[in-house]
Structures are given as structure tokens and as C-alpha cells.
Structure 1
Amino acid sequence: MLVDFSAPVAASPAEAEAAAVSAEQVGYDGFGAAETKHDVFTTLALVARATERITLQSGIAVAFARNPMTVAVLANDLQLISEGRFRLGLGSQVKPHIERRFAMPWSRPAARMEEFVAAIRAIWHAWATGERLLFRGEFYKHTLMTEFFDPGPNPHGNPPVELAAVGERMTAVAGRVADGLLVHPLTSVAYLTERILPTVREARGGGLDDFTLGLSAMV
């Protein structure tokens, strides 16, 4: 088990940076930043430059406020800046925020998220291998990547993708396409053991090997 520290949800980028430095000094394993009043990727770029050891997690970045290409670029850059310490935590948010705050489309969130993650991985694969980018899905299509815009393979590899989920459909998506699941802070022990874990195991064919569960503790 690893123990991370999270910045207060309303912390400014500079405040989060200071909190991460302190967390690293006292021995935490990782640091998470939320996306509420400030951009989580900007915050973690500061944190990456100010720390050396702890892992860094977007907890969460709002996926549907963006598209797979923008997220692939941002995550790739943070993996470079942090020298391999970044974990991409994604979440869907809820329909009113996506449609009315971000003016972005909302439909079938579990299916859309599964395709979103698959598209990110397809983009990373194209950069890593030099193969043609050819992703065609129901919600996203990425079919153009020229050398001018291709950053090439990341020397630190691709960051793990961790997906926030509450309901069984999104939980199953996390089990199928993500490297970990971010459990909602208000989850009970019973819901975790009776609903979440069985759903993840079924989606992964029975096991939790190489799969991370992130659970928040309100202290």
C-alpha cells in the first residue's frame, strides 16, 4: 500500500506546489491535485519541477471537457517533465457541467469514456512506433499525425491511466481499459467489497494483478 497526499481542492497552483514539496519531505509516496478552480495539468507541471521522488496524479482531470488528443499531449508532456512520475487520473464529471459549463457533448458516458481511453492509447502508440494514426470510433476519430506534430516515443514510457468510477458500467470500463480505479471518497466498505471489486474482477477476467485501487481518506 502506498500513501499519497492531496492538495486542498481550492488550492492555487503555487499553493499546491508548496504542499507537494512538503509532502515529499515528510515521506508521502505520491501527490494528487484536483481540477476545480484551476487547471490540474498546469498545477502538476509546477509540482513536477519542484519535486524529485513522489508520483504525481491528476485526481481528476475532466476528460469530457477535452478530447483524446489534447489529453494525450498534456499527459505525455507531464510524463516528460516529471521524468516518469505522472499518473493520468481521468473522470467524466456530470452532464450539467459538461454541457453547460464546458459546452461539450455528453452521451453514454461509460461507452464514451472507454473509447476516450482507447483513443489516447492509440495516439501514444503512434508516437511510440511511428505507425500511422488511424483511430475511428463512434465518438472520436483521429486519423492525422504528421512529423511536425509528433513528439516521438517518450523515454519514460506512457503514464498509467486511472479512471474515476462509481456506477457499475464505468467501473467495468475501468477494469477493461484502465490501469487503476479511483474510488469515490464517499464509498462505503460494503459498496467497495460487494459492488466495485466484483465488477472490476469480472471485467478483468478474474484478477487484480497490476491494477491500482485509489481510495481517499478524509482526515
Structure 2
Amino acid sequence: MPDEIARAERLGYDGTTLLELTVPPTLSAAAGAIVTEKVKMMSGVFVAFPRSPMATAYDAWSLNELSGGRFQLGIGSQIKAHLTRRFGMDFQPPVRRMKDYINALRAIWDCWQNGTKLDYDGVYYKHNLMIPYYNPGPLESGFPEIHLAAINKFMCRLCGDLADGHLPGDPITWKWHEEVMLPNLEIGLERSGRKLKDLELGGYGFIGCATSDAGIDKVVQGLKERVALYASTPEYKEMLSMHGWTVSQEDFAAMTRENKWEEMGNLVTDEMLEAYAVIAKPDALPGALKKRYGGKVDRIQIDETWFEGLSDEQVSKLITEIKEI
């Protein structure tokens, strides 16, 4: 992980997005902070509810200090099955719980940064004990940024109301972003007296690139399988329906029950993939990204899993060109 984050800084990336799969993203951020000086490190996403707000507050505070203010806390709620069956947690209404969680985080940080008495009394979380021995004290860089993973309308409203930035998640179609996400982010922003320009907007969907036709075909096939994986979950049912495609969420779910994980990618048509992804060769990719994202988002996320045949020099050149969009 230190090598990968150092490479990202060397190639010119502004930041890295650290997933929570088999390694906590906070551990990855600590490893990266030690060997870099400029690149940001975002947990994308840190699953909030298995940890108390106090535990998360300490992690994010320490990482912001270690990195000199370069850590961004990207948090999300995770779906019910993973919370209850993998993490062994109870399931509570996620939007209401997340609001309480973020408010608790900021109350704790306010205590550390400004000396405010800790007396947070929320719906799900209560924090009213902080003795000097456990108080890490103020940071020159101040509070870590909070970026909230939000796909559906009510979580998007909460994001607009409380967060510093928006994490759209994958995979999101352009239509869902324009017709569901943005209007609801603006509703939340209005509640907090802010405008869309005050919220850092993350790019949505997948980005693929290859230097040859065969490489493009490989990326297309891989992305169809990945889109199918997400489309099999109930959370994406409404997104599939709004496009009017003949294939449904249940079609994908039925194939998962038969363990046809690779075959279900065949259900994803070229039209569907175009809604979820931007795929092009290196010379055409910046223009394609400008057409999809230009003037609409502040940050796009490149996952080099979906790059085929590009050298580090080619990737660095692409980063420079994309920054000019």
C-alpha cells in the first residue's frame, strides 16, 4: 500500500481512494501518509456503524495529524445484510443514524479543537466524558473533512445538509446522477444555507481505458460483469427501472442464486454499459470525460483495474490532461 500511494503521488494524482475490503482504509492511510507529502488519502468508504463515533473520531484525528491535514474521512452506512450478517451489528434506520453519527463526530472534534465541553446527547449516540488524559488536543489542520457516501435521495439530502463532500459510489448512471442525486443534494444544501458549489462533488460511474481494440474488449467485458454484480442487489432496483431497460434487478439476482457470476455480465447490454461507464483509448479519454463530467463534478475517480496496456508515463499524461477539463 505505501508503494501504491507513493506511486499515485509521483504520477500526479490529487488523491487516493482507499477501500474497505480486507484491510481497514485507516490502516492504508497511515501507511501512505508516512511515505508521501502532497497526495490526499480518502477512506472510500469507511463503514461507520460497526465503530462508535468516538473510535472513528480518534482514527480520523490521528490520521489528519500524521498526514498534515491530507486525510479525508469518507464514510458510508453499508447495506443491511453486511451490517447484520458480516459485522454482527443491529440494523437501525441508516439516514437518521448517520445524521446522529456525523453530529457526534463533530461534537467530539469540537471538544478537542476548541475546548468545548463534550455533552452530546443524540438519538443513537451519547458522549459526555472526556478527561485531559484522553484528549489529543487541537490540530493545526483542524477538523478532517467528512465525505458521505450517498446514492438514494434521503442520504443525498443528508449529505447536502451535513457533509463536506459527496461520494456517489459505484456504479451510478448519468441519469441517476442528474435526476436523483443532484436535486436531493440541493435540497440538503438549502437546509444548511449552502449552494452546490460549497459541496465537493465526486464523479460517478466507471472509467475504462486501453491502448488496443483487444484491450478495450477486455475492459468492456470486465465492467459488464462488475455492473451486473451491483445490479443484482435490491439497492439498485430503482436505478435499473428508471432507464426503462428490459432487464430487471431480479434477472441479475436469479443468476447470483445459481452462482452464475461471470455469465450474468452477458445481461448488461452496450447501452447499459454506456450509461454506467466512460471507456476510450488514451487519446480520446479526456474528451469523453469532459463530455460526461465537465462542469458537473469536482473530482473523478480512476480505478486502474479498468486500464489495460498503459504505462506509467501514459497514465501520468492522462492525469495532466484530465486536470485541465
Could you state the TM-score of these two structures normalised by the residue count of structure 2? 0.61
Distance in structure 1 (CA, Å) of the matches to 2:51 and 2:203: 25
Runs of 4+ in 1 over 3 A off after TM superposition: none
2:200 corresponds to 1:212? yes
Task: Give the secondary structure class of the aligned counterpart of 1:184.
Answer: coil
Distance in structure 2 (CA, Å) of the matches to 1:193 and 1:21: 35
CA deviation after TM superposition for structure 1 residue 188, in Å = 0.9
Q: 2:135 is matched with which residue?
A: 150
| CA offsets 1:119-153 (integer angstroms, 9 cap, x no match) | 00000001111121000011100010111100111
Contact 1:55-1:87 within 8 A present in 2 as well: yes
Task: Give the secondary structure class of the aligned counterpart of 1:162.
Answer: strand
In structure 2, stretches of 5+ residues that fail to align are: 209-325
CA deviation after TM superposition for structure 1 residue 218, in Å = 3.2
Q: 2:34 is matched with which residue?
A: 49
| CA offsets 1:34-83 (integer angstroms, 9 cap, x no match) | 00111111111000111111111000000011110001100000000000
Q: 1:103 is matched with which residue?
A: 88
Contact 1:185-1:215 within 8 A present in 2 as well: no
Higher helix share goes to which structure?
2
Distance in structure 2 (CA, Å) of the matches to 1:61 and 1:118: 17
Task: Give the secondary structure class of the aligned counterpart of 1:38.
Answer: coil
Distance in structure 1 (CA, Å) of the matches to 2:127 and 2:90: 17
Which amino acid in structure 1 is aligned with residue 6 of structure 2? V
Task: Give the secondary structure class of the aligned counterpart of 1:218.
Answer: strand
2:19 to 25, 34, 55: 34
Q: How many residues align?
A: 204
2:186 to 201, 209, 218: 201
2:145 corresponds to 1:160? yes
Distance in structure 2 (CA, Å) of the matches to 1:186 and 1:104: 26
CA deviation after TM superposition for structure 1 residue 202, in Å = 1.3
Identity of paired residues, percent?
A: 37
Which amino acid in structure 2 is aligned with residue 184 of structure 1? G
Distance in structure 1 (CA, Å) of the matches to 2:169 and 2:87: 22
Considering only aligned residues, what root-mean-square deviation do their CA atoms show, in Å? 1.1
Distance in structure 1 (CA, Å) of the matches to 2:166 and 2:57: 19
Q: 1:11 is matched with which residue?
A: none
Distance in structure 1 (CA, Å) of the matches to 2:17 and 2:63: 13
Distance in structure 2 (CA, Å) of the matches to 1:89 and 1:185: 14
